[in-house]
A and B are shown apart, each in its own frame.
Chain A
Amino acid sequence: AQTVTQSQPEMSVQEAETVTLSCTYDTSESDYYLFWYKQPPSRQMILVIRQEAYKQQNATENRFSVNFQKAAKSFSLKISDSQLGDAAMYFCAYRRTGANSKLTFGKGITLSVRP
């Protein structure tokens, strides 16, 4: 079975600084997807970034980028120039390829941003 581990329950970052959120996973599959989701206080799940396992290049979306280490099964999220609106819970998630397969989530990390 696939597992996703987020070992840090909470982190804090100063506004405008950079923060990295850690995630590791375990799978026997060779092709899969990895995601970072943001859940603000409204509790609406928002996709931040995704990575296809077959792609070596790390995904980036504006201030968000990932460090995908396939051999180490590590998938960290870097948030640059942190903003107050980045404060939220962040979930790392795994999904194998195949039609409509389910997401496996980590426990999540609560990120606070200090003004």
Chain B
Amino acid sequence: GAVVSQHPSRVICKSGTSVKIECRSLDFQATTMFWYRQFPKQSLMLMATSNEGSKATYEQGVEKDKFLINHASLTLSTLTVTSAHPEDSSFYICSAAPGQNSYEQYFGPGTRLTVT
């Protein structure tokens, strides 16, 4: 089956620094990738949709200057949390969609971000 990886799986950073999270589709090309944020015991909240080679589309209320998304290739999307603060601590999940005729999205294992 299709595999999506995320790196790192856990990261701790200091307040004010930036941290980058990578999402890779390992055995398929993903024309679209999605980034979610999830708090404990809550649902996944879509942050943005990224299409290869174009600017990401952010959901309402998500600061695009704080959460920088780059989808540079058909197998890699990155989320950079800039000037991180403790309230940015959360679980971040990406998913990847193979293409036009696919109903499926494949999820990465998630990244736990802790900002101290």
Enumerate chain A interface residues (CB-CB to B < 8 A): 33, 42-45, 47, 50, 52, 89, 91, 95, 97, 99-100, 102-103, 105-108, 110
Q: Please give the number of chain B residues whose Cβ is less than 8 angstroms from any Cβ of chain A in the complex.
A: 24
* CB < 8 Å A-B pair total: 49
Contact: A100 with B31, CB < 8 Å? yes
Residues on B close to A: CB < 8 A?
A: 31-32, 34, 38, 41-44, 46, 49, 51, 91, 93, 95, 97, 99-100, 102-105, 107, 109-110
Q: For residue A32, give the distance in angstroms from its CB to the closest CB of chain B.
A: 10
**B100 nearest in chain A by CB position:** A99
- Beyond A99-B100, A100-B100, A102-B34, whether A44 also contacts B43 by CB under 8 A is no
List 28 interface pairs A-B (beta carbons < 8 Å), by A numbering.
Answer: A33-B103, A42-B109, A43-B38, A43-B91, A43-B93, A44-B107, A45-B44, A45-B95, A50-B103, A99-B31, A99-B99, A99-B100, A100-B32, A100-B49, A100-B51, A100-B99, A100-B102, A102-B46, A102-B49, A103-B34, A103-B46, A103-B105, A105-B44, A106-B43, A107-B42, A107-B43, A108-B43, A110-B41
